[in-house]
Structure 1
Amino acid sequence: MEMTVLTVGKMKDQSLRAGIEAYSNRLSVFCKMQIIEIPEEQLSDKMQAADIEKRRNDEGERILSHLTPEHYVMALSMKGRLWTPKRLSNEMERLSAKGQSQIAFVIAGALGLSEAVLDRSNEQLTISQKVFPHQLARLVLLERVYRAFQLSLGESI
């Protein structure tokens, strides 16, 4: 299985980076994984709603440019359904059984996801009922995916 995490913005926090690298290494046993950082649009206090929407759409176009028709896309969104590691494990097993081998997770930046990205998504999910900064969401997502793989192998978490 191939996993791609498309995330807006660079990882700036060194302690989070260490955790992400640790989970990336653990996940490499289960799947081929890559993290792609999409450049984040710059904001200013004086921006109007139309400017913000244009920048969100620009980020969305850059996200979409990394997706192929073969990707099963899961967008992280507070509007999505809550996915526990068990539910994610079940979904990954279902997708694998259907021959779906490429999964892409999309994490928004400060502007959120464009409608085009949400429309392209096969699923919208949330990994917690709490709101996380997008950099922390990356770490939490990798932890959840790792736990999902452990569950699919019958390991306790």
Structure 2
Amino acid sequence: MKITLVTVGKIKERYFEDAIKEYSKRLGRYCKLDIVQVQDEKTPDGASEAVERQIKDKEGQRILSNIKDGAYVIALAIEGRMLSSEELASRLQKLGVDGISHIVFVIGGSLGLSDEVMGRADYALSFSKMTFPHQLMRVVLLEQIYRSYRIMAGEPYHK
């Protein structure tokens, strides 16, 4: 299976980069992983709703241009469905059984995802009702994907 992360913004902290590299390496034995970073837009202080919508739309167009036709898209969104690690593993396994060969996970910028990106998503996934820095979410998402593959393989890691 091919897994792609399409994310907004660059990783700035080395410790996040190191964690992402570690989980990318671990995932290499289970799937083909690609991480695509699209440029984020600067949000001016006190931006109006219209300006924020324009920013999300610009970032959204960059995201959508990196999603291939036929890919199954999972958008990370606060309003999405929360799953346990076992449920995520089961969902990924079912997608594979159903013939899905490419899954794209999308992590938006500080303002979230545009309506167009959410409309393209096949599934909205939430890790919490809390807001997390998008850089940290990359690490958390990669760890959960890795955990899912370990669960699917019946390997000791989970717990």
Q: Which residue of 1 aligns with 2:39?
A: 39
Q: Distance in 2 between matches of 1:130 and 1:145?
A: 20
Q: Which residue of 2 aligns with 1:75?
A: 75
Task: Write out per-residue CA displacement over residues 14-34 of structure 1, whole angstroms, 9 at most, x where no aligned residue.
Answer: 111101110000001100001
Matched, 1:134 2:134: yes
Q: Distance in 2 between matches of 1:24 and 1:130?
A: 25
Task: After TM superposition, list the pairs within 5 Å mapping 1:85-124 onto structure 2.
Answer: 85-124=85-124
Matched, 1:58 2:58: yes
SS at match of 1:57: helix
- Extract structure 1 runs of 4+ deviating beyond 2 A: 127-131
Q: Report how many residues are paired.
A: 157
Quote the offset at 1:130 in angstroms.
3.6
Q: Distance in 2 between matches of 1:128 and 1:84?
A: 11
Contact 2:80–2:124 (CA under 8 A) maintained in structure 1: yes
Which structure 2 residue ranges, 5 or more long, are not aligned? none
Matched, 1:25 2:25: yes
Taking only aligned residues, the RMSD between alpha carbons, in angstroms, comes to 1.1
**TM-score under structure 1 length normalisation:** 0.96
Matched, 1:13 2:13: yes
Task: Write out per-residue CA displacement over residues 10-68 of structure 1, whole angstroms, 9 at most, x where no aligned residue.
Answer: 00011111011100000011000010001000111153221111111011011001112
Q: Which amino acid aligns with 1:125?
A: L
Larger mean Cα displacement after TM superposition, 122-131 or 147-156 = 122-131
Contact 1:6–1:106 (CA under 8 A) maintained in structure 2: yes
Q: Which residue of 1 aligns with 2:155?
A: 155
Larger mean Cα displacement after TM superposition, 129-138 or 11-20 = 129-138
The change in CA–CA distance for 1:18 and 1:78 in structure 2 (over 3 A counts) is same
**TM-score under structure 2 length normalisation:** 0.95
Quote the offset at 1:127 in angstroms.
2.2
Q: Distance in 2 between matches of 1:130 and 1:49?
A: 21
Q: Distance in 2 between matches of 1:38 and 1:62?
A: 6
SS at match of 1:148: helix
Q: Distance in 1 between matches of 2:134 and 2:46?
A: 23
Q: Distance in 1 between matches of 2:2 and 2:44?
A: 37
